[in-house]
Amino acid sequence: MWNLTEPRNKAASKILAGIAFAAFCAACGGAESADGRRGNSNANTENADAPITISVAKTESRQVPAYIQASGSLVADETSNIAPKVAGKVANVYANVGEFVSQGSLIAKIDDRDALLQLSTARANVKQEVAAVRQAEARLGLTANGSFSASSIPEVRSAEALYQQGLAEQRQAEANEKRYRELVETGDVAMVTYEQFKTARDTARARSNSLLQIRGITVNTAKQNNQAIKSAEAAVEAAQTQVATAQQAVADTVIRAPFSGFISDRPVAVGEFVSTATVIATLLRSNPIKIQIQIAEADIPAVQLGRGVSVQVDAFKDRNFAGTVTSVNPALDTTSRSAVVEARIDNGENLLRTGMFGSARIIKEGGGTGIFVPKTAVYNDLSTQSYRAFVVVDGIVKLRVLQLGTEEGDFYQILDGLNADETVATSNLEQLYEGARVSS
């Protein structure tokens, strides 16, 4: 109705101006379309009717192996906390954290001045003991390393000669005594003369017995001197053992890598005093590397030594690392009722590191059928946080929401949302929607 507070002609002017402005807008801009796009209605109708050009592919049905899924941590195949064999001051450190060292490579060196001094002393003791052996050999008239024979010793030979001489004199005296005794019996010689020869016989016998004892004493002395040589030789061997011990002490000041691997820790510095309990460095053998996972009690019968394992880590999500089961702990954890399983993985490229978290799949007997689709057919809809695919049926798009499984090369396994041998769009996915017309 008219506003009675203003003239009629003025109100009529406003109405006419509004009609003119609406006509101008209709002629210049057009109306907004139902799908949110603005423009000429005829043009929108033509665009809606035009099919979207796409490329297509077929979903595939494949055999999928059965597996046990578990997670765990990667650990080094061998870990060694290297400690010195002798205490002392660190003279030098040759390996740093992160370096790869080969077996036998020099890790560190302990000050060896005391050990070298002990070695010099031990070597001097050897010379002294060898000299004692030579002296004992010379005392017996032996050459160096000569064999012992009591009869060859000069003192023994001299004693033997005296004894033989005395023995000969005894025989002569006994013969004389016998002859003169017979002459006394026949009356040809006086008793006084016989008594002289009898006394000479007794004296010769006594001297012979004395020389026999002297010979025995001389032989025993020679044997004792020979034992002195053996004792001196034993002292040489003991001194040589001390030399070997001192040499080992010098060698122990050099610390070497027990196996090839990477230095993960080196807590000591040059000049620091260390004992045999001090860790000089920590060495890891990471090729191969192991993963330790926990397997549920029900799955333990399916895990056998040598069974194949596929491992993934967050650092390399697009790669699978192959390994094999190397051990299954015979004891279960009483709390979780699970067993620890170790699998060994080749790590020649040194991509896997100790402490990484890994997801492992252990292949077991049996399996089933899975649906696979090219990765290009899967659309990640960020607005709905879902994965989608567009199935093409008679040129019309059908929207499917997917549940993805594992990746195999350029394909995804589809756990839900697609069937085998369906045609899916693989290009221009961002332009497609439910009911869209397409051409390929």
User: In the chain, where are the structural domains located?
Assistant: 8-49, 52-62+370-439, 67-72+282-368, 84-110+253-274, 115-251
Smallest CA-to-CA distance from 247 within 85, 118, 91 is with 118
* pLDDT score for 117: 92
* pLDDT score for 259: 92
The share of the chain scoring above pLDDT 70, in percent, equals: 83
> What's the rounded Cα separation, in Å, for the pair 184 and 81?
105
The helix (H) or strand (E) run that includes residue 415 is: strand 411-416
CATH class of 84-110+253-274: mainly beta
Instruction: Note the pLDDT tens digit of each residue in 51-106.
Output: 999 999 999 998 887 788 899 999 999 999 999 999 999 999 999 998 999 999 99
CATH number of 52-62+370-439: 2.40.420.20
Instruction: Note the pLDDT tens digit of each residue in 104-123.
Output: 999 999 999 988 999 999 99
- Structural Rg of the chain based on CA atoms: 55
* pLDDT score for 105: 93
* pLDDT score for 49: 64
Residues β-bridged to residue 404: 414
What is the Cα 237 distance to its own chain's centre? 39
Instruction: State the DSSP code for 304.
Output: -
Smallest CA-to-CA distance from 401 within 384, 413, 422 is with 384
**Phi and psi angles of residue 352, each rounded to the nearest 5 degrees, phi first:** -90, 140
Question: Helix/strand/coil (H, E, C) string of 46-97?
Answer: HHHHCCEECCEEECEEEEEEEEEEEEEEEEEEEEEEECCCCCEEEEEECCCC
> Which stretches does DSSP call E strand in 88-154?
88-93, 100-101, 106-110
Q: Does domain 67-72+282-368 have CATH number 2.40.30.170?
A: yes
* pLDDT score for 411: 92
Contact 268, 81 (CB under 8 A): no
Listed as ranges, residues in the chain with pLDDT below 70 are: 1-49, 137-153, 222-224, 226-227, 366-367
User: Distances in Å between the alpha carbon of 389 and those of 61, 401, 406, 421?
Assistant: 17, 7, 16, 14
